Amino acid sequence: MARTSARSRTATVTALDAVHFALDRGSPVPLYHQLAQQLEAAIEGGALAPGNLLGNEVDLSVRLGLSRPTVRQAIQSLVDKGLLVRRRGVGTQVVHSKVRRPLELSSLYDDLEEAGQGPTTEVLRNETVPASAEVAAALGLPEGAPVTVLERLRRTHGQPVAYLCNHLPASLLDLDTARLEATGLYRLLRAAGITLHSAHQTVGARSATAAEAALLDETKGAALLTMTRTAYDDTGRPVEHGTHIYRASRYAFDFRLLVRP
């Protein structure tokens, strides 16, 4: 037991030694908020990685020269955001950084992998079905035409981030479940010689249903981000129509806005 505690203290010191805290006690910004912001920045920047231990509130308050309630409030705000978790007998541990994705025509798998988020995919459904009126209109097909429907659960660091539902013309390419679980859909399209050129995309938000909450490890009514996208190849042909939902606690879209001349 003593050895375990010693290892935990060593891990805590190593993790926090990588972070420079600059708390301004004369600032009108509350100290708990300053601490929370700096811890979040360290997680987002990779100085604190998933699995790193921060110790308990007493350790942190002594180390930073802050009161225990101040440290508790800072930690709770990051626990609420899903960045930290409290573990009995261990202390506070980094879970993950929030996924921030540029709003452009890119693959979620590619974006997560590039950001070092360790994406994995579970294929829940991969079959050919008749196209509904909505899917047929999006893909430029007759209603009832055969389409491939894919339902996938995307995780990072073992935690669910997104539920993805995609429809593609059945004749477009053969989609193997094992390959879909090993890589991203857009990579498979590119490997088949399909060049993605543009997309029409709508982003929204709503509350999780009971089924969605269970799938994404959220509570019923939790905030979800939604995205509907139809992607086109370089000939202007629609090749994929997706309806996706993301955990708002773990996911955000980044926008770059320009002033119109």
> Given this model, what pLDDT does residue 40 score?
83
- Confidence bin at 111 (pLDDT 50/70/90): low
pLDDT tens per residue across span 168-217: 999 999 999 999 998 889 889 989 999 888 888 888 999 999 999 999 99
- pLDDT at 125 exceeding the cut of 90: yes
With beta carbons less than 8 A apart as the criterion, state whether 123 and 150 touch: yes
The residue that leads in pLDDT, 92 or 245, is 245
User: What tokens were used for 231?
Assistant: 């992607």
> Given this model, what pLDDT does residue 20 score?
77
Bridge partners, residue 115, by sequence: none
- Listed in order, strand segments (DSSP E) in 8-57 are 53-55
- pLDDT at 42 exceeding the cut of 80: yes
- Report the range of poorest mean pLDDT among 15-29, 48-62, 243-257: 243-257
Q: Where are the domains of the chain?
A: 2-94, 99-254
User: What tokens were used for 38?
Assistant: 């700096």
Q: In this structure, what are the phi and psi dihedrals at residue 26, rounded to the nearest 5 degrees?
A: -95, -5
Was domain 99-254 assigned CATH 3.40.1410.10? Answer: yes
The residue that leads in pLDDT, 56 or 154, is 154
User: What tokens were used for 150?
Assistant: 């894919």
> Given this model, what pLDDT does residue 3 score?
41
> Given this model, what pLDDT does residue 7 score?
40
- pLDDT at 119 exceeding the cut of 50: yes
> Which CATH code fits 2-94?
1.10.10.10
Torsion of CA 92, 94, 95, 100, to 10 degrees: 140
With beta carbons less than 8 A apart as the criterion, state whether 241 and 156 touch: no
Q: What is the mean pLDDT of residues 154-173?
A: 90
Share of the chain above pLDDT 90, in %: 32
